[in-house]
């Protein structure tokens, strides 16, 4: 499997390879420099929840099980952005939105995906330049 680097706008990411059960947490140095340790440690704890979820359930979303751990670990459901996204993935049914920095599969083909919270339809909007 080809190694993926953490995108410069991503504070951290937890990667899971089901074939080997390998779990890796990648953190961005630029985010650490931008936020400082106090805020960045929130991201570390956030990614540790993802790693535990992968270990226990082979999947790791920001759903109910994730939410149960955020208070105990003094972290957040979603990490603070330090760069503006290029696109917004928007749920048509409840108007929730997720930032996207790369032209991912969901950005390219939102019609083939649905909202993870309500199963609603998705659309993509290009983010306004800042």
Average pLDDT, consecutive stretches of 10 residues, N- to C-terminus, the chain (130 residues): 41 89 91 86 92 93 88 82 79 80 86 85 83
**The tokens of 89 are what?**
């993935």
Q: Is residue 28 a part of any domain in this protein? A: yes
pLDDT at 129: 65
In our burial notation (b when 16+ CB lie closer than 10 A, e otherwise), range 31-56 reads: bbeebeeebbebbbebbbbbbbbbee
pLDDT at 80: 65
Same domain for 51 and 95, yes or no, is no
Same domain for 93 and 65, yes or no, is no
**The tokens of 33 are what?**
């420099």
Same domain for 65 and 93, yes or no, is no
The range of the structural domain enclosing residue 48 comes to: 12-70
Same domain for 16 and 66, yes or no, is yes
User: Based on the structure, what is the number of domains in the chain?
Assistant: 2
Q: Which one, of 52, 26, 43, lies nearest residue 78 by Cα? A: 43
Q: Is residue 78 a part of any domain in this protein? A: no
Same domain for 55 and 17, yes or no, is yes
pLDDT at 81: 64
Which residues are within 8 A (CB) of 26 and not within 5 positions of it... i.e. 6 or more apart?
5, 6, 12, 13, 14, 15
Same domain for 17 and 55, yes or no, is yes
Same domain for 61 and 106, yes or no, is no
Q: Is residue 58 a part of any domain in this protein? A: yes
pLDDT at 82: 62
pLDDT at 98: 80
Neighbours of 91 (CB within 10 A): 19
Which residues are within 8 A (CB) of 102 and not within 5 positions of it... i.e. 6 or more apart?
7, 86
pTM, two decimals, is 0.61
DSSP for 64-118 reads HHHHHHHTTTT--SSPPPSS--SEEEEETTT--EEEE-S--HHHH-GGG-B-TTT
């Amino acid at each position: 499997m080809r190694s993926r680097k953490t995108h410069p706008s991503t504070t951290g990411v937890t990667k899971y390879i089901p074939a080997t059960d390998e779990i890796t947490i990648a953190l961005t140095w630029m985010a650490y420099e931008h936020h400082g340790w106090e805020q960045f440690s929130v991201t570390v704890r956030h990614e540790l929840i993802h790693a535990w979820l992968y270990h226990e359930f082979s999947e790791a979303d920001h759903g109910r099980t994730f939410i149960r751990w955020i208070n105990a670990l003094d972290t957040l459901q979603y990490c603070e952005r330090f760069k503006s996204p290029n696109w917004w993935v928007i749920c048509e049914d409840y108007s929730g939105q997720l930032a996207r920095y790369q032209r991912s599969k969901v950005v390219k083909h939102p019609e083939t995906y649905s909202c993870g919270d309500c199963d609603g339809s998705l659309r993509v909007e290009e983010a306004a330049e800042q």
